[in-house]
Amino acid sequence: MKLCTDLPAWRALRGNPDWQGRSVGFVPTMGALHAGHVSLLARARAENERVVLSVFVNPTQFNDPADLARYPRTLEADMALAAPYIDAVFAPAMEEIYPDSYRFQVTENDVSSRWEGLQRPGHFEGVLTVVLKLLNLVQPRRAYFGEKDWQQLQLVRGMADAFFLPVTIVSCPTIRDHDGVALSSRNRRLSAEARAHVTQFPALLRSSPDAATAAARLRAAGFDVDYVDDAGGERLAAIRVEGVRLIDHVTL
C-alpha cells in the first residue's frame, strides 16, 4: 500500500507501468472510515485490479466552519482499516487540490437546489468540484458511492454523464448498524443516550405513510427536522440531534 500526499507523488504512482492497462477502482472519502466505507472498498477490490482510496476533508462543501473544524481526522486508523483492500491512498493537502483557490467550480442548477442543497448553500458545488478533480487525477474505471447520500449519488452520476467522463459510477447499498441506524462518521459525536434515541429516525421514515407524517412523528420524538420529502420512490430526510446533523434515505 502506497501513501501519496502530493500531486507529484501521486502522478508518479499512477503513471507507473505496473498500473497501465489495469482496471482501477476508486473510493473517494473524507476519512473517519467505518464499515460502510469498507463495504465500498471490498466491492472495489472484487471488481478491479487496482484500488485507490482518497482521504480528503473537503472544506468547500462545508457551509458551517464549526462543522468543518469538528470533522474527525484519523488518517492512520483509516489506512489500517483499508489496508486489506487497497493498493494506494491519496491524501492530498488543501493547496494540492485547490491551486486555483476555488475560483473554478462545478454548478448544477436543478437537483442540487433541493433537500441538502437548500439547507446547505454551496454544498454541492464543493462536492461536485472536488469529485471532478479527484476523478481526473485518479482516472478510475469505476468509482464507488454509497446510497445513503442518495442526492449526492444522483448528482455525481449526472456530472459524469454530462462531462463524458470515462468512469462508471457504482452505487452501493447503505450499511446499517444492528439497530437500523445508517453508519456515518458523525454518529461518533453522539452521546450514548442520543445514539440509542436516533434508532427512531430510520424506523419512522419507513413506517410513516407519507413524508409529512414522518416529519411530524420525528418532531414529536424530539428531533429537529431539516426536511423529509418523497421523490422518485425515495424518502429523503435530515435531522439534528445534540447539534449533530444526520441524513438518511429509504426506498418506498
For the residues of 38-102, what is the DSSP string, one character each?
A: HHHHHHHHHH-SEEEEEE---GGG-S-HHHHHHS---HHHHHHHHTTT-SEEE---HHHH-TTTT
134 and 215 both lie in a single domain: no
Q: Is 13 helix (H, G, I), strand (E, B) or coil?
A: helix
Residue 212 sits in a domain whose CATH number is 3.30.1300.10
First to last CA, the chain: 41
pLDDT at residue 33, rounded to an integer: 96
User: Which grid coordinates are listed for 21?
Assistant: 492497462
Q: What is the DSSP string of 179-203?
A: TSPBP-GGGGGS-HHHHHHTTHHHH
pLDDT in tens, 58-99: 999 998 898 899 888 999 999 999 999 999 999 999 999 999
* Residue ranges making up the domain that contains 200: 185-251
Q: What is the DSSP string of 143-163?
A: EEEETTSHHHHHHHHHHHHHT
129 and 218 both lie in a single domain: no
Task: Give Cα separations from 211 to 111, 136, 179, 202 (angstroms).
Answer: 18, 38, 22, 13
147 and 195 both lie in a single domain: no
Q: Which pTM does this prediction carry?
A: 0.95
168 and 193 both lie in a single domain: no
pLDDT at residue 107, rounded to an integer: 97
> Annotated catalytic, 37?
yes
212 and 160 both lie in a single domain: no
**CB burial of residue 21 (10 Å; 0-12, 13-18, 19+):** exposed
Domain assignment of residue 225, yes or no: yes
13 and 136 both lie in a single domain: yes
The upper half-sphere exposure of residue 85, i.e. CA atoms within 13 Å in the direction of its Cβ, equals: 23
The active-site residue out of 34, 37, 178, 197 is 37
pLDDT at residue 63, rounded to an integer: 87
Instruction: Count the domains in the chain.
Output: 2
Which segments in the chain show pLDDT lower than 50? none
12 and 134 both lie in a single domain: yes
